[in-house]
């Protein structure tokens, strides 16, 4: 018995010691936020959940070892019983219920979910736009004045956090099995049963955006904004105190082989006009559902009056958009789906389809001319709206696919940047210097399909597009004319 307890004690002691002897890479991997909490903050702070399940292959059968069995999708993923082309709203509602299940009642502190495990994406802390300390939110695209509502005179900051269920998180488990030596050497493919969702919170007031009335609030350490009409370009500078941000949008995505792209995307917006709903987190109106990019819907087709057939937009949401009277002409590009906080010249699937190991711009280039979008080059623009298959790359021969997960690619880039900074720092160590990492601008290499004529011209255009600092979803900055 004595030997047992001493053995036990030794193990306990060893585990404790291990906590203090993380390698620098492990320490980063387990860092929740690199930004300080407010000095007077005594409530809990956000903690990353990154004990990912091991990778499981699509061929697994329940009970296989190693790796988790694939979920029984009919029971565990009830949306798989719904035809999203016929009942998109029902599909969206089932996904939302699943995402809320066990999460909503613990304020999305997934560690406390007793129904099923959920996880956060790794390495989202280490950039200028990295996670803030109180809720783990990252700095996202801001909404320029007048875009969302006619009374919206301020630029709205948006802050977000994403969540992955166990099948989804198993992809992180495969790549990051050893945080010191993450391995990404093949196209990633998220398994059947994967569900992902993202909460977006905003600085919008009820006065400027009437639909925000009664929206649930979270505390967050966001960026200073001395001029309300001008959003900070990125999240590099943070406040010393906490502010309130409120729910504006909920994005979700599911792996679904029935879709041309292998994923279904959807988004909800907060809607304070909904009556008789006591829980504010349930006051959500589905903006729409998207299962493809409508690759044939070019400008000529739009001018002929054609509409997307691989996006469904909820008429209720269109009514809300029109009632708000903002300047955005549609939710997503030419009637495709995107959310209130997103860029109308893009779309859920076209933006996420760019997730790969070579940085490419997430959003097409062009400019607003008297509030109308004019693409840099229509043919180039349509390359964004190809139906990239799950696990294939958007561009560049030799690039690896991150299978529609932008959070994966952001985390991976943060890690690579940290690694090169580490190497530079070890040559000249200065413990007092704390480096805030930011993604450098990069040039883009792009290989259009060989059958495209004007290859060189397209390539020249793309090479000229710079990828700016995160946030990744930004795209061009708009100034809407009143």
Q: b/e string for 158-172 if b means 16 or more Cβ within 10 A?
A: bbbbbbbbbbbbbbb
SS3 25: helix
Residue pair 317/332 in contact (Cβ under 8 Å)? The answer is no
Task: Name beta bridge partners: 196.
Answer: 164, 253
Residue pair 313/335 in contact (Cβ under 8 Å)? The answer is yes
SS3 299: helix
pLDDT in tens, the chain (482 residues): 444 333 344 444 444 444 568 999 999 999 999 999 999 999 999 999 999 999 876 544 444 434 445 556 566 899 999 999 999 999 999 999 999 999 999 999 999 999 999 999 999 999 989 999 999 999 999 999 999 999 999 999 999 999 999 999 999 999 999 999 999 888 889 999 999 999 999 999 999 999 999 999 999 999 999 999 999 989 989 999 999 999 999 999 999 999 998 999 999 999 999 999 999 999 999 999 999 999 899 999 999 999 999 999 999 999 999 999 999 999 998 899 999 998 887 878 778 777 777 666 677 777 878 878 777 777 777 777 777 887 787 766 567 888 878 888 888 888 988 998 887 766 655 545 444 443 333 333 334 445 555 556 655 555 554 444 445 556 677 778 87
Cβ neighbours of residue 10 closer than 8 Å, sequence gap 6 or more: none
- Using only C-alpha atoms, what is the Rg of the chain? 22
- Rounded to whole angstroms, the Cα distance separating 193 from 187 reads 18
């Amino acid at each position: 018995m004595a030997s047992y307890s001493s053995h036990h004690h030794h193990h306990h002691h060893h585990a404790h010691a291990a906590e203090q002897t993380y390698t620098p890479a492990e320490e980063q991997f387990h860092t929740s936020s690199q930004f300080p909490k407010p000095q007077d903050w005594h409530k809990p702070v956000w903690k990353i959940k990154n004990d990912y399940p091991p990778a499981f292959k699509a061929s697994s059968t329940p009970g296989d070892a190693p790796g988790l069995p694939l979920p029984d999708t009919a029971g565990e993923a009830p949306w798989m019983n719904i035809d999203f082309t016929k009942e998109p709203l029902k599909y969206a509602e089932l996904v939302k219920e699943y995402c809320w299940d066990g999460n909503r009642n613990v304020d999305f502190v997934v560690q406390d979910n007793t129904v099923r495990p959920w996880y956060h994406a790794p390495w989202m802390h280490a950039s200028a736009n990295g996670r803030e300390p109180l809720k783990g939110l990252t700095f996202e695209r801001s909404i320029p004045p007048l875009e969302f509502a006619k009374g919206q005179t301020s630029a709205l900051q948006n802050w977000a956090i994403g969540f992955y269920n166990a099948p989804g998180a198993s992809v992180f488990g495969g790549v990051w099995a050893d945080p010191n030596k993450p391995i990404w050497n093949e196209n990633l493919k998220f398994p059947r049963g994967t569900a992902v969702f993202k909460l977006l919170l905003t600085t919008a007031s009820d006065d400027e955006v009437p639909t925000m009335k009664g929206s649930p609030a979270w505390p967050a350490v966001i960026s200073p904004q001395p001029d309300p009409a001008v959003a900070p370009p990125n999240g590099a500078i943070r406040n010393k105190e906490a502010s309130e941000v409120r729910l504006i949008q909920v994005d979700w995505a599911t792996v679904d082989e029935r879709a041309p792209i292998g994923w279904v995307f959807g988004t909800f917006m907060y809607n304070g006009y909904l009556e008789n709903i006591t829980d504010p987190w349930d006051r959500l109106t589905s903006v729409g559902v998207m299962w493809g990019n409508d690759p044939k819907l070019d400008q000529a087709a739009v001018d002929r009056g054609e509409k997307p057939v691989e996006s469904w937009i909820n008429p209720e949401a269109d009514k809300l958009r029109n009632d708000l009277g903002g300047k955005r002409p549609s939710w997503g590009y030419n009637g495709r789906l995107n959310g209130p906080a997103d860029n109308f010249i893009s779309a859920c699937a076209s933006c996420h389809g760019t997730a790969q190991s070579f940085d490419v711009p997430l959003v097409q280039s062009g400019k607003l001319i008297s509030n109308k979008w004019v693409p840099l080059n229509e043919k180039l623009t349509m390359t964004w709206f190809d139906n990239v298959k799950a696990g294939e790359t958007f561009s560049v021969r030799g690039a690896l696919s991150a299978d529609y997960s932008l959070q994966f690619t952001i985390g991976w880039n943060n890690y690579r940047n940290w690694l090169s900074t580490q190497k530079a720092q070890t040559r000249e160590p200065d413990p007092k210097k704390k480096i805030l990492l930011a993604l450098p601008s990069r040039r883009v290499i792009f290989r259009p399909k060989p059958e495209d004529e004007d290859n060189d011209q397209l390539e020249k255009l793309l090479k000229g597009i710079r990828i700016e600092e995160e946030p990744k979803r930004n795209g061009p900055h708009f100034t809407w004319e009143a």
